[in-house]
Amino acid sequence: MYTEDDLLQLSALQHLLFCERQCALIHIEQAWEENRLTAEGRVLHERVHESGDESRGSVRIVRGLRLRSLRLGLAGMADVVEFRRVDLKSQKTPFPVEYKRGKPKPDDCDLVQLCAQAICLEEMLNCEIPAGALFYGKTRRRLEVEFTEELRLKTAATAERLHKLVEAGVTPPAVYEKKCKACSLFSLCMPENKKSATQYLNSVICDMQSVI
């Protein structure tokens, strides 16, 4: 069990599964640059959060809900949580919905992020959440996600791996892949250079000082 001081950003799970080096640059070295893709994603999230809460029939829709799990050591924000009632006698069950600008990915990074949101809600509200959904802006469709035991175990393992990475405080070396070109941190990461952003900036400063 983690403490409040140990909490890391829930969104870091997706960064870690996409690229361990990217995750370290953002969450250890505090490096960030925005490109068209990240800007579009940010605008999408802002629009969702600013829409406000509402009710549609038996469904209560809450946007921008703060999340926290001491078991996973994570904190973040859910884009949308739909509180659904199956029948008049049952309590409303939370159904988290995460918005993504693109289309479904071949890996599990989006699924893990959504599952972590569900685990946070379960811990906060003392309930069980069987499923949620990912809404992709490019396809304009929802992909329903079942929170299986396998996905829950992978989410917990990813959270533990994230904490170990941040605690170690070491940025992994770069490994160039095709996906690197789409990363907003490409110019900072320099996958062919294999230096951290901090090391690179220090080397630049040293070069400038030697010239002066």
For the chain, 212 residues long, give each residue's pLDDT as a single digit of tens.
899 999 999 999 999 999 999 899 999 998 876 656 565 556 666 666 666 678 888 899 999 999 999 999 999 999 999 999 876 667 899 999 999 988 898 889 999 999 999 999 999 999 999 999 999 988 989 999 999 999 999 999 999 999 999 999 999 888 888 788 777 777 777 766 545 555 555 655 655 555 45
Predicted model pTM: 0.81
Torsion of CA 67, 89, 86, 146, to 10 degrees: 50
**DSSP strand pairing (131-136 vs 93-100):** parallel
Which tokens in the block code for residue 53?
């809460």
The whole-angstrom separation of Cα 81 and Cα 97 is 6
Residues 127, 124: Cα–Cα separation, whole Å: 8
Tokens of 97: 């919905």
DSSP state of 146: E
- Residues 55, 21: contact at Cβ < 8 Å? no
Residue (of 3, 11, 8) closest to 28 by Cα position: 8
- CB atoms closer than 10 angstroms to residue 135: 17
- Residue 109 structure tokens: 């990074």
